[in-house]
């Protein structure tokens, strides 16, 4: 599946959005405007989906997890806290 590659104009954060999905409204990290850079074929990475608006996007492997949804105002819960691993 082809993905659209977006890059933040301010902080350079990059996300992939499936072709046909809505463009992101803002950067999931700093809330600046994102620009569509290119198309990308099946990028490896981590999938994220907003459980409030359903917006789904992917971040490149090893990238910082998104702070907010790229489409609504939801703040993502912190990904598994690596310091306090109660459950292993």
Beta bridge partners of 4: 17, 39
Minimum distance of Zn ion from residue 39's CB (angstroms) = 21
Looking only at residues 39 through 68 of this chain, which bind Zn ion when binding is defined by CB under 5 A?
Answer: 50, 52-53, 55
Minimum distance of Zn ion from residue 16's CB (angstroms) = 15
CB closer to Zn ion, 3 vs 13:
13
- In the DSSP assignment, the letter for residue 87 is -
> Of the candidates 3, 4, 5, 13, which one interacts with Zn ion according to CB under 5 A?
13
Contacts of 30 (CB under 8 A, 6+ apart): 8, 10, 11, 13
Looking only at residues 68 through 87 of this chain, which bind Zn ion when binding is defined by CB under 5 A?
Answer: 69, 71-72, 74
Taking alpha carbons only, the member of 18, 22, 63 closest to residue 41 is 18
Q: How far apart are CA 6 and CA 28, in angstroms?
A: 11
Residues of this chain that interact with Zn ion (CB under 5 A) are 8, 10-11, 13, 27, 29-30, 32, 50, 52-53, 55, 69, 71-72, 74
């Amino acid at each position: 599946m082809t993905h659209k590659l977006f890059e933040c104009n301010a902080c350079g954060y990059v996300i992939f959005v499936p072709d046909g999905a809505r463009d992101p409204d803002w950067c999931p990290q700093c809330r600046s405007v994102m620009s569509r850079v290119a198309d990308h074929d099946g990028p490896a990475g981590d999938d994220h989906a907003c459980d409030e608006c359903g917006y789904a996007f992917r971040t490149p492997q090893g990238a910082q997890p998104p702070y907010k949804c790229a489409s609504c105002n939801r703040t993502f819960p912190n990904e598994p806290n690596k310091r306090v691993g109660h459950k292993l």
